[in-house]
């Protein structure tokens, strides 16, 4: 007895593509990428691809006709429609396409999923690729090169003194070893989960506290003696400022909020007495 087909719409892919049919087809392609015979080498290439964009991709390819794809996804679309949707996924950089490199007369197209690009684009909207067979950590730190964020904040502080960077900051006002006797003891562990849960609740995003880069940012600020209330204040302040601004909403993420400008954000003070939810509701009016 044959197994039944499954056609799944994942919310994160729907939010990424903006079209449920695109989300269904992309999810099916992602599923097939886990079934290739050379999966281990495919994943190895994806990890290298994260660092070398021009890497030759020789593994992880599979072939499907438009008719097969329509049947497997149970969309009942015409092959020409399937090909149009595939072209959109290819143009977005989420899948690659090639002809059979060994048999020139074979017109069946081969496809390969670009896991790195999918994860990067999901991260930009505060989401991640859930349920995949393995996790591929992204080695890039987009906050370091976000020129639009730099320009935005430069405009905000153009008439003010710029905050010190980590390298320029002095610690003359910090307590010495002799004066820390009466200071409260540090908790035995850093509350990564509590901080990220609060961020997700305020911004309606879905970051993971287990991501290495996220933990590095939080740990760096924790070592500067910042505590949970400081993280929550920064989250509240920047959420109130950015949540309804499409160009800035993407910066409501750990890399930006908990980076080297954390102390500057912390000292901005309350920019609004209204909650982020109140601002959101006002935006709907």
128-176 pLDDT, tens per residue?
Answer: 888 888 877 665 444 444 555 666 666 654 544 444 444 434 333 444 4
The confidence score (pLDDT) of residue 149 equals: 66
Q: Tell me, what's the pLDDT at 160?
A: 44
For the chain, the domains span 11-124, 142-175+184-284
Fold that domain 11-124 belongs to in CATH: Arc Repressor Mutant, subunit A (1.10.10)
Q: CB neighbours (10 Å) of residue 190?
A: 18
CA distance 99 to 106: 7
d(CA 89, CA 133): 21
Q: What per-residue confidence (pLDDT) applies to 274?
A: 52
In this structure, how many other beta carbons lie within 10 angstroms of the beta carbon of residue 242? 21
> In Å, how far are 222, 225, 236 from 229, measured between CA atoms?
11, 11, 10
Q: Residue 137's pLDDT is what? A: 65
| 163: its two tokens | 């905050």
Instruction: Give the tokens for residue 205.
Output: 């995003």
Mean pLDDT by 10 residues, the chain (285 residues): 77 91 94 92 85 78 89 88 93 91 84 91 82 72 54 55 42 41 53 92 88 88 92 93 87 90 83 51 52
* Residue 172, token pair as written in the block: 């003359």
Residue 202, pLDDT score:
92
Q: How far is CA 128 from CA 96, 131, 134, 142, 210, in A?
A: 20, 10, 13, 15, 12
Give yes or no for a contact between 130 and 10, defined as CB atoms under 8 angstroms apart. yes
Provide the pLDDT for residue 284: 54
User: By the 8 A CB rule, do 118 and 129 touch?
Assistant: yes
Q: What residues form DSSP beta bridges with 96?
A: 112
Structure tokens at 180: 């820390």
- Residue 175's pLDDT is 43
Per-residue confidence (pLDDT) for residue 107, from 0 to 100: 79
Strand-pair partners of 112: 96
pLDDT at 268: 85
Q: What is the pLDDT of residue 82?
A: 92
Provide the pLDDT for residue 210. 82
Please tell me the pTM assigned to this model. 0.52
């Amino acid at each position: 007895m044959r197994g039944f087909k499954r056609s799944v719409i994942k919310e994160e892919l729907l939010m990424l593509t903006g079209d449920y049919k695109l989300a269904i087809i992309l999810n099916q392609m992602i599923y097939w990428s886990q079934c290739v015979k050379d999966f281990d080498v495919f994943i190895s290439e994806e990890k290298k691809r994260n660092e070398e964009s021009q890497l030759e991709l020789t593994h992880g390819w599979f072939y499907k006709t438009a008719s097969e794809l329509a049947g497997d996804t149970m969309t009942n679309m015409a092959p020409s429609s399937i090909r149009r949707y595939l072209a959109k996924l290819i143009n977005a950089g989420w899948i690659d396409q090639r002809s059979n490199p060994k048999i020139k007369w074979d017109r069946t197209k081969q496809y390969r999923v670009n896991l790195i690009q999918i994860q990067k684009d999901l991260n930009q909207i505060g989401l991640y690729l859930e349920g995949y067979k393995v996790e591929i950590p992204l080695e890039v730190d987009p906050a370091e090169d976000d020129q639009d964020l730099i320009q935005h904040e430069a405009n905000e502080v153009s008439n003010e003194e710029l905050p010190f960077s980590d390298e320029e900051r002095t610690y003359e006002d910090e307590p010495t070893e002799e004066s820390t006797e009466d200071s409260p003891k540090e908790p035995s562990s850093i509350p990564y989960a509590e901080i990220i849960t609060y961020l997700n609740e305020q911004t309606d995003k879905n970051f993971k506290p287990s991501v290495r880069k996220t933990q590095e940012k939080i740990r760096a600020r924790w070592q500067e003696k910042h505590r949970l209330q400081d993280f929550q204040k920064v989250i509240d302040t920047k959420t109130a400022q950015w949540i309804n601004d499409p160009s800035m909403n993407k910066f409501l993420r750990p890399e930006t909020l908990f980076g080297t400008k954390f102390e500057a954000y912390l000292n901005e003070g309350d920019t609004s007495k209204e909650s982020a939810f109140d601002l959101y509701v006002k935006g709907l009016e």
